[in-house]
Structure 1
């Protein structure tokens, strides 16, 4: 079998971290996401995944946040079957295959040019691929803006400098007539703490961006309105977490303030 050897920068290399976590989840007895395509894809990549030092907590939270974001996409698409879906910073995520949208939905996967090139080789067909630097203007000029849009950004917020995430949100909500933005939101503390996580340290990435109040994006001038905050430590899937992570997660769930320091999924309407 021909193995792929990706050549990526530090930020782009984080896509291998999340791919590996999804693959490990798929191979576990109590899989949360059960993404077999990610497991197959990871097996086709020539990379020392062991150097990422992925622990059970990262596997569980990565799988759970992906599942909840998938649920948000499915619900939006079911209500608006002629919409577009924009997956920002898509990496090698197989969300389109997991969500299996109907033919009337146009799906756009957006990432750096080198990531899009790798994705075209690894996951050909299905979606429209858009090569773009998400910190610059004119990100999605070629994407039709005449339909409702479901915009997903998983794991992207901490890696965008300054107010570039807010600026991107403003551009997107002006481009489309209506829609939703779904993200996994990091608090400022959680974003700063990421750089000390063994997996992030292994890549040498310094992540820093986040916000504490889930309503803060309503002040970005993007017309966003908070629709839902899911604190994932309180999700029913926690019952399937391995010990001692399950016990620690349930203890954290007793406090809303502590719960927000963990994984959370935020949905905004515009």
Structure 2
């Protein structure tokens, strides 16, 4: 099968970074997420992944946060068998395949139109695909309003300009009657420091959005209530990290402040 070379601008190119990280985890001796779908997709892409200079910390962090968000989706679907799932900024993520939810769930993968078109070249049509710019209005209108919604926003927060993420959150909670929002929550420092990460520098973008207090979104007038804050430095899966990353992560886990500068997964009810 011939390999495909995607034509992506720097913002969209970040989807290759997370895809590569998941693929490296799947190929590792002790995978955390074990996403073989991502590994197979990466093999079909003509791209110099080595230029991203992905380190074990990014591989493990990406795999662990994806696993925790998958768990949140499965738990919500188990409690709400008629739910709608939205995966915002989905890129080439294979979450719908990994979660393998029952037929009563309607899954919507949302990203820029050209990214949605790219997905069709690598992934089966097991979900509804919505091509949209998340900073615009109207793209939610065709989606059902009267069903509980599980909304996943992995990696979206830092890349939306200004208060766009807050506006997006209000649009989502106004559209859906009830549900949950799950995301990996960057502090302001963590989001700011992303631009110095070798992989982000290689792509050439700047990311700057974040919030420190997990309860801050409760003041966004979106009806959010914090349900859970997981500090992933304290997750049991850290035992699968390679050394010396495992020891460093466990040391960070002794401090809540340091842990929040790493990866945390936040869940909000509305």
Q: TM-score, normalised by structure 1?
A: 0.99
SS in 1 for 2:229: strand
SS in 1 for 2:192: helix
Once the two structures are superposed, what CA deviation does each residue of 1:163-210 show, in whole Å capped at 9, x if it has no partner? 000100000001011000000000000000000000000000100000
Residue 128 of structure 1 aligns with which residue? 128
Once the two structures are superposed, what CA deviation does each residue of 1:42-78 show, in whole Å capped at 9, x if it has no partner? 0001111111110110000000000000000000000
User: By how many angstroms is 1:88 displaced?
Assistant: 0.1
Q: Does residue 215 of structure 2 align to residue 215 of structure 1? A: yes
User: By how many angstroms is 1:226 displaced?
Assistant: 0.1
Q: Does residue 137 of structure 2 align to residue 137 of structure 1? A: yes
Provide the C-alpha distance between the structure 2 equivalents of 1:204 and 1:253, rounded to a whole number of angstroms: 31
User: By how many angstroms is 1:124 displaced?
Assistant: 2.8
Once the two structures are superposed, what CA deviation does each residue of 1:121-167 show, in whole Å capped at 9, x if it has no partner? 11131000000000111231111111000000001100000000010
Q: TM-score, normalised by structure 2?
A: 0.99
Alignment of 1:233-252 (within 5 A): 233-252=233-252
SS in 1 for 2:151: strand
Residue 15 of structure 1 aligns with which residue? 15
How large is the RMSD of aligned CA atoms in angstroms? 0.6
SS in 2 for 1:265: strand
User: By how many angstroms is 1:244 displaced?
Assistant: 1.0
Q: Does residue 145 of structure 2 align to residue 107 of structure 1? A: no
Alignment of 1:107-186 (within 5 A): 107-186=107-186
SS in 2 for 1:117: helix
Residue 225 of structure 1 aligns with which residue? 225
Residue 257 of structure 1 aligns with which residue? 257
Provide the C-alpha distance between the structure 2 equivalents of 1:99 and 1:172, rounded to a whole number of angstroms: 22
- Aligned residue pairs total 270
SS in 2 for 1:122: coil
Residue 2 of structure 1 aligns with which residue? 2
Once the two structures are superposed, what CA deviation does each residue of 1:20-57 show, in whole Å capped at 9, x if it has no partner? 00000000010000000000000001111111110110
What runs of 5+ residues in structure 2 fail to find an aligned partner? none
SS in 2 for 1:260: helix
What runs of 5+ residues in structure 1 fail to find an aligned partner? none
**Runs of 4+, deviation exceeding 3 Å:** none
